[in-house]
Amino acid sequence: MNHHRSPQRFGFPFLLVIASLPLAISAVTAYAAEPVEVEIQKDIVYGKGGEEDLKLDLATPKGLDHAVPGIIWIHGGAWQGGSKNEFEVLIRDSAKAGYVAVSIGYRLAPKHIFPAQVEDSKCAVRWFRANAERLHVDPNRIGVVGSSAGAHLAMMLGVTDSGDGLEGSGGSAETSSRVQAVVSYAGPTNLLSEYPNVSKGLLATFLGGPVKDRQDEARRASPITYVNAGDPPMLLIQGTKDPLVPHAQAFEMAEALTKAGAPGRVEILLGEGHGWPKEHERVMAATYAFLARYLKP
């Protein structure tokens, strides 16, 4: 992946993948007080999705000998494309900022429809927490960041619990899949709301049929369905000219969080689409500031 590619290009042809939002050197150094060497491990198996191995990439500050917060990054791709490899720069930057970070892969539609992607994401959290001592991760300070379809999965991690029937059987069953902070980049929050025609087809692929025929599945797959007072803080970032996910989606989630008394913030980027070429440094700075507030007491 060309990490200098403009986020402006990330529209439908890239299946809801937002750019990795590359950082200027000044932005990176703002997240870490001094240069930090990073160790990367690729293709670690974190569980099973049916008969498939589920894999993630891990970035750790070199020589880490104490527990620090963890961040899980979830790629976009309309639930049917994209790769964990797209976030290698971001997990490196997260490690430089003092986190243990992973970028996860998950099963993709149309071969695997909802709830496979949610189950796999929950399995990744459980693996992260189950291996917290070995990885030097604080199991009580795990955040998740996702873009587009990955943002949808990140929000599902934030609002669902073991009683919602979405845990799956991928592994680490005895461990909680809850997270302590969520950042969403242009994530859909209510799949029963109105979407542009181009997005309706993507939703149909994810759900196994058109929303009008899959109302129950769409409701179960909507983060807004599960919002309650116990949910972790959320940062929702959305552009007003997004051709795939209307910015009203962020407002709907904000209303639900407000009614539940759950903490969070919405940032609306005027004139930006599904990716933010003019705002990427601001978005990343806001992301790390938000995560630091809630994960680094």
Catalytic annotation present for 75: no
Q: Is the dihedral of CA 69, 19, 206, 184 positive or negative?
A: positive
Catalytic annotation present for 112: no
Q: Which residue has the tokens 């997270």?
A: 179
What is the pTM (predicted TM-score) of this model? Answer: 0.90
Q: State the Cα angle at 117 between 7 and 6, rounded to 5°.
A: 5
Answer whether 241's CB lies under 8 Å from 273's CB: yes
Catalytic annotation present for 242: yes
CATH 3.40.50.1820 fits 37-295, yes or no: yes
Distance CA(151)–CA(109), nearest Å, equals 16
Distance CA(158)–CA(152), nearest Å, equals 10
The DSSP letter of residue 81 is S
Which position among 148, 172, 177, 199 bears the catalytic label?
148
The strands making up 68-74's β-sheet, listed across from edge to edge, are 38-49, 52-61, 100-104, 68-74, 137-147, 181-185, 234-239, 264-269
Which position among 93, 138, 231, 242 bears the catalytic label?
242
H helices present in 185-247, as ranges: 197-207, 215-220
Average pLDDT along the chain, 297 residues, taken 10 residues at a time: 30 32 36 77 97 97 97 98 97 97 98 98 98 98 98 98 96 96 98 97 98 98 97 97 97 97 95 86 95 94
- In Å, what is the CA distance from 3 to each residue of 18, 36, 98, 220? 12, 20, 22, 35
Answer whether 100's CB lies under 8 Å from 59's CB: yes
pLDDT at 34: 63
Which position among 75, 247, 274, 280 bears the catalytic label?
274
pLDDT at 25: 30
Could you tell me how many residues make up the chain?
297
In the chain, where the domains are located: 37-295
